[in-house]
Amino acid sequence: MPAVEMHGVSKTYRRRGRPPQRALDGLDLVVEAGGVHGFLGPNGSGKTTTIRVLLGLIRPDAGEVRLLDRPVPAALPQVIGSVGALVETPLFFPGFSGRLNLRLLADIAGLPYTRVDEVLALVDLTDRAEDRVKGYSLGMKQRLGIAAALLKSPRLLVLDEPSNGLDPAGIRDVRELIRRLGRDGSTTVLLSSHLLVEIEQVCDHVSIMARGRRVVTGPVGQVLASRSSGDVRVRVPHLAEAAAVLTAAGFAVSPADGGLLVHAVPAPGEITRVLAEHGHYLEELTPVTADLESAFLELTAEPA
Amino acid sequence: MTTVAPARPTVADPAPAGGFGGLLRAEAHRFVSRRFIRVLLLLAVLGWIGAVLLALTQFGSVTPERLAEARASVQDVVDEQEQFRQQCLDDPTRPAGVDADLQCGPPLQASDLRVEDFLNPRPFSLGEFGTGGAVAVSAATAVLTFLIGATFVGAEWSTRSMVAMLFWEPRRGRVMLAKAAVVAVACVVLGVVAHVAWLATAGGLQSAVGDGAALPDGFWPELLGTQGRGLLLAVLAGLLGFGLTNLTRNTGAALGIGFVYFAVLETAVRALSPIWQPWLLTNDAAGLLVPGGLRLVLDWNPPDGADYNSWSPPEYVLANLQSGIFLCVVTAVVVAAGVGVFARRDLH
């Protein structure tokens, strides 16, 4: 059962005195249950609108949305107890302590206050729990926001830029936490981030958005493979002779970084065989894989 | 961060939102935890203490010595008046054939004057000030509850925690209902405390510096009725502040609108179109509080050619019930508009 399903979802913002702005344009998105699903897109691509539609904050003009197999927004009250969310900046009462802020949320859901202390420990805020939130650093507020999102022990955790404001150790901890939640099998994490490396490190699946549409989705490895060129980097002692051998064997070859770049190679083992037959022995044979950044930039580029 | 594993739900079905009771509990918890509301209440208590101290300086107890002095003052006035009357009667230029009492006034008796009016400071009179004090306390409480209602929901909008709350209870009508219910209950509690404080204060003043006179007939029904209507006004004012702030999503804007309305619009209406006075909120608030309603003069200018001696300005009596219904309708419209807009608008 998918944790999130969106089909043909459209949303246009109409503001007085401004031209209509299409934020979502027939968006189709499926996030299967379990694991960590990355949600990528440039600014204005519709990521935040998508998350707000999922959480019932924005009503779409058209399309079908389902969360944990229930239609949204109609049945959102039936599932909201299993959905945790951190959207953009955490929203707390600055004059209240971190603990009191979480206790107010626990009151709403009927959760015991012991759960508050558990999640405070989880994000390492126990020592500062009695301090007022307005004295927290941005990173501490972000951790408190994550604690609030985890308070309900959610089956679906929606995190929008959770690393914002965190120091390197905090970023590492959050990523480890997300990975752990994704691995346990009972939590689905939908992670919206502009940090491509974060998506690449943490996510099992990724969906990339551009101009209000999903342009690609799938396992991260598969998305990268689909964008790979099939190029192979080769290093041998005698570059010029090896280049001649490979060219004669039908490969397209160009020099690159003290080695050779062999283009569109269907089977890299063929390079090894051809060079060895002519007495050239490899020092390096590396398939050139696309990184997520390249894929992202290629997929989200504005059409000419 | 530690490695405490998050607790897992034990049921397969997704969990629904918490019940309405949880929402109410959270709102009540937040209400009593808010520093600004505590400061407002502290200021109200300090104001009350100041008023009690001021009252103690304005009233004095009745002692036999002070009573004797007052009676002597009464007698002085009677004697002086009699002296003036005699001079008038002895005046040779006084027209003949005119009744002496009509010309120089009837003889003044000591019993025509109230001894307590000659006590300085005068004693406190529960019968005289009890109901008026309840009206004043009601008005002050209404101002306080308006501020509390406005700031309570205004803080939610300024911190945008209103949006965060929808991650926990997406039914916006329920969220607003819980907040409004807490504001209403808080206003009732505040109103009850204020009126009990007034009764205690008035009782204390009557014991300490009172006139010791028996209370007039119908005193208690009139006082308690006024206090009951004062409670209603406190709730309506709190909900009005709540609804107005909800519409503007900003406490400052709501208070600004309130100031412009009360200070500018109402003044302009009274000056330019007094016929509309029955529809002014402050008049209706007074009409609700004052026993028997508020008597308004709708036009001070006699029509052309009117006989000044026989013309009397047109009056309008704003009855308690009429004012109460009008204020209820206005409050309901403002609150419903705020809730309706909140329920429909996209939240960013």
Q: Are residues A172 and A92 in the same domain?
A: yes
**CB-CB neighbors (< 8 A) of B38 in chain A:** none
Rounded Cα distance between B152 and B148, Å, is 6
Instruction: Assess if residue A300 is contained within a domain.
Output: no
> What is the number of alpha carbons within 13 Å of residue A303 lying toward its C-beta?
3
Query: pLDDT digit string (tens) for A1-29?
Result: 899 999 999 999 988 888 888 999 999 99
What number of residues does chain B have? 348
**Which residues between 172 and 191 in chain B have a beta carbon less than 8 angstroms from any beta carbon of chain A?**
none
Query: What pLDDT, in 10s, does the model give residues A165-205?
Result: 788 888 888 888 889 888 888 899 999 987 888 888 899 99
Query: Domain span at residue A44?
Result: 2-226
Chain B contact set for A69 (CB, 8 A): 14
Domain assignment of residue A220, yes or no: yes
Does the distance separating the beta carbons of A92 and B159 come in below 8 Å?
yes
**Taking CB atoms and an 8 Å limit, are B164 and A52 in contact across chains?**
no
ipTM reported for the complex, 2 dp: 0.79
Residue of A nearest to B348 (CA): A57
Min CA distance, A264 vs chain B (Å)? 46
B305 touches chain A (CB under 8 A): no
Q: In what order do the strands lie in the sheet with A232-235?
A: A252-256, A259-263, A232-235, A284-287
Q: Strand, coil or helix: what is A133?
A: helix
CA distance linking residue A161 with residue A179, whole number of Å: 15
Token code pair at residue B147: 């501020």
pLDDT per residue over A41-60, tens digit each?
Answer: 888 889 989 999 999 999 99
Domain limit, last residue, from A226, A258, A278: A226
Instruction: Convert the pLDDT of each residue in B58-100 to its tens digit.
Output: 898 888 888 899 899 999 999 999 999 888 888 888 887 778 8
CATH number at residue A148: 3.40.50.300
Q: Which residue of B has its CA nearest to A106?
A: B26
Q: Which of A97, A99, A108 should one mutate to test binding to chain B, selecting the residue with the greatest count of B CBs within 10 A? A: A108
Residues of A whose CB is below 8 A from B182: none
Note whether B15 contacts A81, CB cutoff 8 Å.
Answer: yes
How far apart are alpha carbons A293 and A197 in whole angstroms?
Answer: 8
Instruction: Give A153 to chain B, closest Cα distance, Å.
Output: 6
The answer to whether residue A303 sits within a structural domain is: no
Q: Measure CB to CB from residue B22 to each of A52, A85, A107 and give the nearest one.
A: A107
Answer yes or no: do A45 and A166 share one domain. yes
Mutate to test the interface with A, among B168, B175, B177, B345 (most CBs of A within 10 A): B168
Res. B10: pLDDT tops 50: no
B33 near A CB under 8 A: yes
Q: Please give, rounded to a whole number of angstroms, the shortest distance from the CA of B34 to a CA of chain A.
A: 8
Query: Both A216 and A250 in a single domain?
Result: no
SS (H, E, C) chain B: CCCCCCCCCCCCCCCCCCCHHHHHHHHHHHHHHCHHHHHHHHHHHHHHHHHHHHHHHHCCCCCHHHHHHHHHHHHHHHHHHHHHHHHHHHCCCCCCCCCHHHHHCCCCCHHHCCHHHHCCCCCECHHHHHHHHHHHHHHHHHHHHHHHHHHHHHHHHHHCHHHHHCCCCCCHHHHHHHHHHHHHHHHHHHHHHHHHHHHHHHHHHHHHHECCCCCCCCHHHHHHHHHHHHHHHHHHHHHHHHHHHHHHCCHHHHHHHHHHHHHHHHHHHHHHCHHHHHHCHHHHHHHHHCCCCEEEECCCCCCCCCCCCCCCCCEEEECHHHHHHHHHHHHHHHHHHHHHHHHHCCCC
pLDDT at residue B11 above 80?
Answer: no
Neighboring chain B residues of A110 at a CB cutoff of 8 Å? 18-19, 21-22
Chain B residues within 8 A of A143 when measuring between CB atoms: 1
Name B296's bridge partners.
Answer: B316
Q: Are residues A35 and A144 in the same domain?
A: yes
Longest CA–CA span in chain B (Å) reads: 113
Q: How near does any CA of chain A get to the CA of B145, in Å?
A: 21
A295: in domain: no
pTM of the model: 0.81
Q: Do A182 and A240 sit in the same domain of this protein?
A: no
CATH label of the domain that carries residue A284: 3.30.70.1510
For residue B159, the model assigns a pLDDT of 86
pLDDT for the residue B12: 60
Q: Do B1 and A150 touch (CB under 8 A)?
A: no
